[in-house]
Structures are given as structure tokens and as C-alpha cells.
Structure 1
Amino acid sequence: MKITGLDNVNAESLPKDWSETFEYKENLDRLRSALKDFEKYSHIIVIGNGGSITSFEAYYRALNPNKKVFILSTMEPRFLEEVVKNYPEEKTLVIPVSKSGNTLGMVESLLNFVGNKDQDGYKILAVTNTKSGALLELAKKRNWPVIEHPEIGGRFSGGTTAALVPSYLCGFDIGKITEGIQSGYQLKNEAYALSKKLYDLEQDAVSEVFVPIYSYYLMGFQNLIVQLMHESVCKDSQGQTYYAALAPESQHHTNQRFFGGKRNVTAIFIIYKGSNNLEMSVPEDFKDINIRSEELKIVDKIKYRDALFAEYIGTKTDADNKKIPNFTIELEEINETEIGKFLGFWHLMAFYSALLRGVVPFGQPAVEDSKEITVQTIKKLSR
């Protein structure tokens, strides 16, 4: 993984603060053993919200699952009906994930897959804490198996059962994922340097961070990056707004904002060039077609990966020319190890960004009021 646009950071300038969160290591042998009986299911539905699903979403999109998987984060009724239609009971394992077990939306969605008796409905494997919570109580009443969720906050739980249970069942090498995360935690200098750059830009009124992602396979990180940087950092009226989008498509909606709107935005380009050598081939009768004052023959024999890279170069160079600060993170491979490393790096980004602003990296106190209002609104609807 390469990061460009940074200053060197002297090791002495790194904060001494650290968290036990980054020292946690799941017992993978025990987890693999506990999941053996569930490998037979060809379809998986993972139900959760926020950090319960964002890390797995990143793994699932980037890697090559050997199962049909759906990540469910809404109780929209038509959507629930479509999921049931495409995921038959006899083939499907439902995995609700919640550290607290008290996420109302998760329970509401789960009810759509639960029968009226123990033997009815879908096979369910719960991932939650083993001390208390609504999900644990539901599991006890119906004798659902439970995999323990450790006391690690959801957005930092990519190396725990929250993400590793469905990852293992999808055929991913969870050992390599966790090794990659630990490797990402070694990028302290790079993470702090980028965090400091962004903090300094915020002090200069740069309040937004645009994250164009030049790979379909890395788009699963979109929600995780936004969640990490918002929930960890945006406290005490501080922190920047992050918005991520698939590129080069983002060039056709957000580049206008980036270049033509307020000059209060920086960019972190995420790129993956890869090694695929698929080439464009222009038929002879197409070669003299005019496109942007050139003939179409200019793309003949060009590798698609080079064409994609050219899209990034166009946007980055324009930003440089306009003196818009920007940074680039390049992944050289997409596999379990590199994806874990990338995730670990963003954990550190959130951690150091919070420390720079003097706020606690963990917890998200500002979201609790709206959750309570939702509960009270539901209560009024109950009959």
C-alpha cells in the first residue's frame, strides 16, 4: 500500500496513546470449529447496522465469496419480501449481528425470518455479547446458537467475530485478514501523517473530504470509512464531513462540486491499478470516429487498467493545477492480507484524527437521542 502527498513523520512526534482495541486477537481455531456445522448453507443473510456490518461489507465486496450473500440493513417491507423470495429457507443461514443486541432495526428485520415455533423459519446463528441484550434473549427462547461478540466497538470490529463469522462462511481466509489488520496497525507514521494533514486543513476551513474510489472492488469500504471518520472524530463541534463515491463515475457528478464549488474540500484518491491485461480493440470501421477532437483509434490496444488510471490522473492533475490539496492511497493487490491492512490503516486514521482534536475515538453519543425518539415513535404505533 502506497500513500502519496504526505510529509515524513518523525517517530518521536507520534502520540504515545494506544488502545487495547488494537491488541485484540480472535481465537481463529475455536471460531473455525464452532462454524463447521454451518458451512453447508449456500445462501447467507447478514442482518445488522453500522459497525456490525460495515467491515464485512468491505471484505465481501473486495474478495470472492463462494456463497450467495445478502447484507440486510433496512426494514423496508418490499425489500424484505424480495430477500425472502431470493433466499429459500432450506438453503439459507441468517446471521444477525449486534454487540449490544439491542439494535431495534436489526431485531425488526430479523423478525421477518423467524417462525412462530422453534422449528419454523430460517436457521439463525446470532453474533452478540453473551451477557445481556434482546438478541441474546431471543436466542435463548428459540435455542439459536450464539457466537460471542467481544467488547470491541462495531466500527473497529473487523478482526472480531462480527466480521469474521460471515467471512469464514464465505470461504475467505480469516487468518490472512487478521494478519493484514495487524500489518495495517504498523502504519502508524503514515496514518498519523495523513491525519495531521487533514487536521491542519480543517483549521484552515477545509471542512470536507472527498474520497473517490477507483475500484469497484474497494467500494465496500465506502460506508466503513465514512462511519470511522464521522463517529470517531465528529464530536465537540469538530471533524470533517466525508463523502465517498465510485470513480470514475464520481467525475460525472461530484467533480463539478470538487472543482467548481466552495474551496473547502480536499480529496483522498483511492486507486487500484492491478495486473489485468485486458485490452481495448477498436474495429477498423470505428477508428476514424471523432471523440473529443481525437480519433477513436487512440484507444486501440490500450489496456483497460491504464485507461482507468488515466481517469484518476486527469482528476488529480486538475486538482494539483488548481492548488486543491489531495492525497492518494494505492493498493497494489486485492486479497485478504491487503484488504485487512487497508482496514487496519483506516482504524488508525480514525484513532489519530480523534486524538488530534482532543476527543475520545470510541463511542458515538450524539446518535442516542434519535434512537430513543424512534423507539417512542414505534411505541405510539403499537396496538
Structure 2
Amino acid sequence: MARRKTEIFSMSFLDCITCAFGSVVLVYTLINAHGGLRHATESQALHAEVSRLEQQVLDGYQQLVVLRNSLIQADEEQARTEGLGTRVLSETERMKQQLTDADKEALSRREAIERLKADLKSLEEDARRLEGASKDAGASGTRVHGFVGTGDRQYLTGLRIGGERILLLVDVSASMLDETVVNVIRMRNMSDTRKRMSEKWRRTLSTVDWLAAQMPLDGQFQIYAFNTRAWALHPDSDGKWLKTSDSNALIEALSNLRKIVPAEGTNIENAFIALNQMNPRPDNVIMVTDGLPTQGTSAPLIRKTIDGDGRLKLFERAFARYPRSIPLNIILMPMEGDPMAPSAFWVAARSTGGSFMSPSKDWP
């Protein structure tokens, strides 16, 4: 019987090898399965963390929007508060200015009342003088209107107020409110009562009162006011002459002059046109003004300002309408910014046989 061969790799060895390999595969599978489970768990945790962070980001954006809106509202509220503060300060200043203006207006009214009292007293004295005058023509006065002033007055020679027909031309433009351009602009924004109480305008009224007091009783008179137009101060008397002996007519004309508020520009040409329309013409003209004209027969269409040369040309055109046979007497009130006015008016007065004067502040 043949001997059985011995094999190294018997069935038992293969089984052991297979079992060992299977064990390794099983261990690897178990390890891999455990790793996948842990990875899945970690992935879920990371996803949860990402979701939580995204939610925090979204919440942060929402809070940022809320804060931004709050900041905008705060800025708007601050702007409104600052605006309100500015308005309050402005309103306070305006109220202070109104209070100051009210005090000034009250003072002006008191001054106006005192002046009216003085005018009333003067009129009463005139009335008593006229009523007590003698019926004898030789004993009667030669003046229909009295003038009461303060202090001594120098009646300048050369200013002839006589004549059969005397025409007074009174400038009532806005420049008659003051001697400086700045103050004229400031006065234009004040009340009418304050305008009538301006020092320059009161001097103008006193000058006209003095002129009226010098007119002879046996003549005729007319008083015209002019700015951009010219009109008679006595109602319904344009182009007509009034008797100087008619004290009521003279007093009414002067009273209407006191009611005027100086305004608008100066147009001397219209005043001379009104002079030429009177029939018969005057034999003596006295003009009270403060400077050369600023307008012609019509208002400017484009330019609202005029220089010295332009004003001189306007006066030359206006003076071309003036009859040279009638003396033109000019009383020039002070006004800055018009250096050509004195020489132009002096030449006009001399060429017509009249007189020119620029009175001091205490005249008449």
C-alpha cells in the first residue's frame, strides 16, 4: 500500500486562513460602519451649526436694518429739532424786532400827536389872527398862512416868492425819507406813520409851510406834488389857480401834503408837463426836491437802476420842456450819491432868472 502524501496546505489550514481573512474583513467592515456612522453624526452636527450660524447672520442683518432705520429716524429727529431750534430763535428775534418797532412806532405816534398839537395851535393862532384883523385894508396882514418855528431864521435873499401866480412843486418820492440810500431802503419797510415822521420829510413840510407863509395875499397859487406822476394837492384843482387869500384852500392843500407817504421814483418831466398845462402859466415856480430824476415820462422796461449820467440826461430832457421865461427857484434837500444835482439845478435856475439854495438842517 502506497504511503499517503503529506500536503502542507491542508483543508484545516485553509479554513483557518479563510476564517482569519473573514475576521479581518468583518473587523474592517465594523470599523468602516462605525466610521460612517460617526461621520454622519458629525455631518449632521456641522449642518446644524451652519444652520444656526446662518440664522444668527439673518438675525444680525435684521437687527442691522432696525438699527439703520433707527439711526435715520434719529438723524431726522435731530434735523427737525435743529430746525425747530432755529425757528424758535428766529421767531424770538422777530418778536424782539416787532417789540422794538412797536416801541419806536409808539414814540413816533407820540411825536406825531405833539406835532399835530403844535400844528393845531398854529392854526388856531392863524384863525384868531385872521378873525381879529382890522377891516381896514391898510391894517391887514400880507400873509394868509402863518409859520411858527423855533429859534432865529435867516431868510436868504435871492429867493423871490412874490408873483401873481406862484406854483410850488414838492418832491414826494421815496428818497425824501432820508439823506442816505441805506436809510431810505430801511425806511421803506417801516410803517406809514414812521415814514411821515422821518426827519428829512418833516423838514420838507416845514419848508413848504414857510414858503406858503411868504406868498402875498393879492395873488394866486397852486401846490403840486410829484414822484412818478404829478398832481394838485387841492382836490379837483389840476390845471386851476387858487386864490392866496382863500385860507381854507391853502390849509387844505398843506393838510393833504402832510397825509402823503413819500414813495416811488422821481419824475421831474411830468411835473413840467403839468406846469405847461396850466392856463395861464405861472410867473414864478419854486421846486423843493433832493436830486435829479430817476425816471422819464415812462418807467424803464428792463433796467431798474440808473447812474449819474443817466439821471443828468433825464433832467436835461425834462428841462427842455420848461419855459425859459418863468423863473425856476430850486430848494435842494440833502441826498447822498447825486453829486451832479447841485450844479445842474444851479445852471437851470440861473438860466431862467431864478435862484438856487441848499438849506442847512436848521432851516427854516
Same fold (TM over 0.5): no
Larger Rg: 2
Larger proportion of helix:
2
TM-score (norm 2): 0.31
Of structures 1 and 2, the one with the larger relative CO (CA 8 A, separation 6+) is 1
Larger proportion of strand:
1
